Amino acid sequence: MFSGGQGGDEKLPEGVAMAEYAKQHGAQSSHVLIEDQSKTTYENMLFSKKILQARDLNLANGLFATSDYHTFRAAGYARLVGLQIDGLGAKTSRFFIPNAFIREYIALLANHKVFHAICLSLILFVSIISFIVGNGIFF
């Protein structure tokens, strides 16, 4: 299955472009499934799962491929939607690594806002209490 929608600057949806490449390099058309509506990694996994279910295919038999820096988050989305598959990360060019890891870090923070807000609040609370006790304020 090839999964990916079409960005504003793309001539074809990602899923279609990858499927065409695979067919040109020997993949049998009857074995090529395409998901071309997704706009996010979560939708990649969710819409792909729906296609697999419609064809009565095993949701635990497969592998997804993505960039090495993106594998962790993509695997989380796969598990979230009910796909019990593993990821295979492709090597990222060195010049892109800082940008890629910052992007993934921000995405993980955004995906877990409540958890991070609670942790930050606890750290702030403990810091304030430590400051008060350490400086003898109110005692």
Give residue 67's Cα distance to chain centre: 10
Residue 12 DSSP code: S
Domain residue ranges in the chain: 1-91, 94-139
Confidence (pLDDT) at 139 = 56
Cα 115 from Cα 59, distance rounded (Å): 29
As a whole number of angstroms, the longest Cα–Cα distance in the chain is 78
pTM of the entire predicted model: 0.77
pLDDT tens column, 90-115: 999 988 888 988 988 898 888 889 99
